Structure 1
């Protein structure tokens, strides 16, 4: 589960960083605000990916998902991207648990 979640957060950090110039040029947001919000969320995503060994990493990752969807109020396309990454985030949990259960079952059979 951790590896899937870290992949989602890694790609999301790239998208959030690339949303910065969009906020500045398209949405007419002041550069200081756009940089602090978008790059702040991107850094938070990277920090969350690094902390996925603990529960706090998953909490921070969920905060990033809420923030990414919230950017849709400023740049409407971020509703789509934020919801897509939130869906990937949920899928990482579901598929990650299934993979972990399958590994445990396989170890129980062979061990």
Structure 2
């Protein structure tokens, strides 16, 4: 799960940065404010890559997805991109857990004949 989720978060890192560039052109919000908000979002996406195996890591990822969708209030395209990344996040968590369970099953099967 960790690899799939981290890949999604790194993709979000770039999308948040590019959304910051677009927001500077589309809005009258001060550039410093845009870069502080974008920088925090980018930093959060990278830090979450390391927190995925800890309790609450996936839930913080969901919070980032909500914030990404909400950024559509500033850059309307982000409603769509936020929804796409939320779907990718769901798929990463859902299928990542299935992959982890399959790996654990295969490891248990590999150890069973060696132990017997």
TM-score (norm 2): 0.88
Residue 38, structure 1, aligned to residue 38, structure 2: yes
Structure 2 unaligned regions, length at least 5: 112-116
Name the CA distance, whole Å, in 1 between partners of 2:72 and 2:34: 13
Q: Tell me the equivalent position of 1:107.
A: 107
- Paired residues of 1:68 and 1:78 also in contact (CA < 8 A): yes
Q: 1:79 is paired with a residue of what secondary structure?
A: helix
**What is the CA–CA distance in structure 2 between the aligned matches of 1:15 and 1:110, rounded to whole Å?**
41
**Which 4+ stretches in 1 moved above 4 angstroms?**
none
2:7 alignment partner in structure 1:
7
In structure 1, the residue matched to 2:114 is none
Q: Give the Cα separation in 1 of the matches to 2:36 and 2:58.
A: 22
Q: Distance in 1 between matches of 2:74 and 2:89?
A: 22
Deviation digits for residues 6-25 of structure 1 (CA, Å, limit 9, x no counterpart): 11111101110111111010
**2:78 alignment partner in structure 1:** 78
Paired with 2:21 and 2:84, the residues of 1 have a C-alpha distance of: 20
Larger radius of gyration: 2
Aligned residues between the structures? 111
User: Once the two structures are superposed, what CA deviation does each residue of 1:49-69 show, in whole Å capped at 9, x if it has no partner?
Assistant: 121221232232222111100
SS in 1 for 2:16: helix
Q: Which has the higher contact order (CA 8 A, sep 6+)?
A: 2
Q: Structure 1 regions of 5+ residues with no counterpart? A: none
**Residue 95 of structure 1: aligned partner:** 95
Give 1:23's aligned residue. Answer: 23
